[in-house]
Chain A
Amino acid sequence: MQFIPTFVLSTLVLFFIVQAAPGDFLTQLSQNPRVTPERLAQLKINYSLDRPEWVQYLRWLTNFVQGNLGTSFAANQPVWDLVGPRLWNSLILVIISTVLTYGIGLLVGIYGALRPYSIGDRIASVFAYFGLGIPSFFFALLVIFGLVTLKQNTGWSIPITGKSSGALQNAGFFVSGWDVFLHALAPSIVLALRSISSESRFIRGQMLEVMGQDYIRTARAKGLGSNRVTYKHAFRNASLPLVAGLGALLPALIGGAGFVEVVFAWPGLTPLLLDSLGNQDLYVIVSTTALATLLYIVGNIISDILLAAVDPRIRFS
């Protein structure tokens, strides 16, 4: 139940920071010839802007809790209508990149721990450092360059930007789904690269540490099979900090997909947020950031549950 005060406190701080900025969205709107004085007056009443800020906050919070995120002034649409599809789009990238991260990162990490300083481990280390060192947006540009070269030289067409093919306007669910997956592949790989690098190094280190523990030696001495020792005993314990970090994944879809979405013209949340900052579309900014906070809280709850599932010492009372 801690999440309620956490959410309230964080949104309160957020709301007041946004309000503390010079002017408000109506100041900016009053410069817009498309917004009439009547509309401004109506908006003032809608958002209780003539009231004290704490009343405004309560009003916003009540609306937010009821699923009303306010109205985007640039798009003249409810914020949720803008954010909903974008959230889902960002989720697609995060889901695919997470699967790649854990699928590849864990295998590489475990391999490195089982055969430390072997040629394979060294090669993996080099790639990991490369992955950690190169900024995502730059890697994204390199990938785009690679895909263009691939298309020019071989004719293989892997989607470069956007979320769907223009040719598939009215395709069925599965065809469209596959098309979206193909479009998501390049940005997801770019997104996953850094995480694969860090997770593989992390799990390698954890595994090496655990593999040197007495209970592993005992298990081996008792004649347990190598795979059983590695995966049931060593990996399970080594992965605990990894599971604890899973909570950061959900909010990462707002901050993490970031510029990769911009470079690949992926219609996710970051391009929307950047546009909103540019347009000073403040309710999109406040509500989206509040959603990120919510996701962070939900992510933490999920990690707690997962941690309890893998660590027998943790039990909810």
Chain B
Amino acid sequence: MKRLIMLAALTLGAASATPFVHPADRTVSKPSDVKMGGTLRMTVAGDFDTYNPLVAQGRPNIPELTDAGGLLGVDPYTYEYIPYMAQSFTQSKDQRTFTFTLRPELKWSDGQAITADDFITAMKIYSSDEEANLFSYFTDGGKPVTFKKLGNLQLSITFPRATVQNLETISYITPLPDHVFGKAFGAGGAAGVKAVRALWPIDTDPSKLVVSGDFKVASYKRGERLTLVKNPYYGQWNKDSAGRPVPYMDGIQYSIVKDLNAQLAQFLAGNVDLFSPSNRDQLAQIVAAKNAGKLAVDVLANAGPLGSVDYLYFNWNKSSDPFKQALFRNPKFRQAMSQLVNKDQMIDQVLGGLGVAAWTSVYPLYSDWVAPNVDKYKYNPAAANKALDALGFKKRGADGIRVDSKGNRLSFTLVTNSENNRRQQMATIFADEAKKAGVEVKTNFIPFNQALEIIYPSANKTDRKFDAAITGLNGGGFINPVGVASIFECGGDLNGYNQSDKCIAPWETQQLNLFYKSTAEFDQEKRKAISNQIQQLQVENEGYIYLLSQNGHYAWDSRVQGESPKKIATPLWASLYFGVRDLDLTWLSK
């Protein structure tokens, strides 16, 4: 009898098996055209530092390249969240609790089943590890997100509030292998966090790594190459519209090529398959080679502004330098600085005209959401000079730099990351304009990870070491494009100007409250109205001085097939690494 029940259960399990099927309208290729095999060749600018998803910083990073995603995915045509690793989900009446049933075929790259335990472990760790990227998503207004295992393949997640972003948050939650991370995390606490963060340093034997994604690490040689190969277990729960397992390709190789010119050269020589030109010159070289018949490539130029923005901000937490701290906290000073930012010149000189000015936390990509009249403090050196006079910086020293009545020079250092030419050029253009207005801006270009450590120190957050910085953001959602909590929270993970846990200016609190209100507003038009209010506060106070968004361009070797159809081949749905394509549905014609 026991055997009979077990058999019945197994049969039932098999009958209810539903792998994720990639819809046919996600690719221009018909399933019958597809060729299997081959290796996609790519370049990456720097070395990778870890295999551990909790420790990984910077992009791209290996964990991000090798994880499958989360419980939910998005339909790019309808903008609706759809089940992905989950087979199905339900939402409670109060819209706070989501219950998921996982697909029974889910497997890790070592063949072990992906179960509710893996998601529960991941959420336990993400919500305990303050340094984890997802940490801030596990609290809302000081209350924690709770989660419960309901069965081997069932779990529920309950949010403190019903917000429009909860589904988005769930889509970010990637599982961690319980049999590795859960084991190390043990009883949790600081010791557990420490133990999981110590896992999988970069010298780990790749065969010991356990991932969920379509590709897994085969080898990594510092300074040379990262080789990923197909994870055969992934195809057991991911099929194309014809029912064949994906991905089609055998692997991906990332050659480490630091120099951007060399990266372009490799693409122009046909040695690399994908390239995203970042300026007019690069685009022109590719198009010229294509038009001359020297290179078999496809180019999608000016696909629209990218889902990213660069911004300049001042450090409000500089207790060791009260003069600068007070200056940087003064909105009139920041408004003046905003009026010294010549965005037209930046777009023209830095991006060759292929970009769009940004004014608020809403990326220009979501043009419908950008509030009206947001260019209040646009480039206006005369107004900036007047404002600086009014701030008491009237006199100019022998070097032309303004000083106040106490002899304080109007001088600060602007840092940005040395790997990013675009930001460096913008910093230089700003410094030149500022100098004309009697403001000394010393530029300092340092490596990205180091810049992150200076801007977001783990300790002594009330006395951070930098003056001003240019960094940027990319990613973020389309549900409420005004931003995410960690940008608006005082001391939030992504709040560059104020890392102290207390709000300093009243508008910060106002902005945060409005943001919470917007996330609880399910009516899109009303949500947009709140978003406009937030943007007006941003424009008036210039916590971030938004600079620009560059347009996205994509080029790929013609042997790479299976890109997205035109309607969804926009920067909104393009992958940061693979362009306008879903890697699972990408195939190589030779």
Contacts of A30 in B (CB 8 A): 459
Flag whether B203 is at the interface (Cβ < 8 A): yes
Tell me the nearest residue of chain B to A272, going by C-beta.
B223
Interchain CB contact under 8 A, A166 and B131:
no
Flag whether A45 is at the interface (Cβ < 8 A): no
Contact partner of A267 among B131, B219, B224, B459, CB < 8 A? Answer: B224
Flag whether B321 is at the interface (Cβ < 8 A): no
Interchain CB contact under 8 A, B270 and A161:
no
B402-419: CB near A (< 8 Å → 1, else 0) gives: 000000000000000010
Interchain CB contact under 8 A, A264 and B224:
no
- A169–B225 Cα distance when bound, in Å, is 10
Asked if A166 meets B257 with Cβ closer than 8 Å, knowing A144-B262, A263-B262, the reply is: no
Tell me the nearest residue of chain B to A144, going by C-beta.
B265
Interchain CB contact under 8 A, B265 and A160:
yes
- A82–B224 Cα distance when bound, in Å, is 12
We find that the number of chain B residues with CB closer than 8 angstroms to chain A is 49
Interchain CB contact under 8 A, A271 and B223:
yes
**Distance to closest chain B CB from A230 (angstroms):** 43
Interchain CB contact under 8 A, A162 and B224:
yes
Contact partner of B131 among A33, A271, A278, CB < 8 A? Answer: A33
- A265–B194 Cα distance when bound, in Å, is 36
Flag whether A218 is at the interface (Cβ < 8 A): no
**Distance to closest chain B CB from A33 (angstroms):** 4
Flag whether A157 is at the interface (Cβ < 8 A): yes
Contacts of B454 in A (CB 8 A): 31
- A116–B35 Cα distance when bound, in Å, is 64
Flag whether A62 is at the interface (Cβ < 8 A): no
Contacts of B449 in A (CB 8 A): 279
Interchain CB contact under 8 A, B257 and A76:
no
- A264–B253 Cα distance when bound, in Å, is 18
Interchain CB contact under 8 A, B268 and A265:
no
Contact partner of A265 among B49, B258, B292, B295, CB < 8 A? Answer: B258
Flag whether B565 is at the interface (Cβ < 8 A): no
Tell me the nearest residue of chain B to A162, going by C-beta.
B255
Contact partner of B269 among A75, A148, A271, CB < 8 A? Answer: A148
- A28–B289 Cα distance when bound, in Å, is 46
Flag whether A24 is at the interface (Cβ < 8 A): no
Flag whether B504 is at the interface (Cβ < 8 A): no
Tell me the nearest residue of chain A to B46, going by C-beta.
A275
B446-466: CB near A (< 8 Å → 1, else 0) gives: 110110011001110000010
Flag whether B164 is at the interface (Cβ < 8 A): no
Asked if A152 meets B225 with Cβ closer than 8 Å, knowing A76-B202, A162-B255, the reply is: no
Can you name 17 A-B pairs with beta carbons within 8 Å? A28-B450, A33-B458, A75-B222, A141-B261, A144-B261, A148-B268, A151-B269, A157-B271, A162-B256, A164-B224, A166-B41, A262-B258, A263-B262, A267-B222, A267-B224, A278-B447, A280-B450
Residues of B within 8 A of A (CB): 39, 41, 46-47, 49, 55, 131, 194, 197, 201-203, 218-219, 221-225, 227, 253, 255-259, 261-262, 265-266, 268-271, 289, 292, 294-295, 418, 446-447, 449-450, 453-454, 457-459, 465
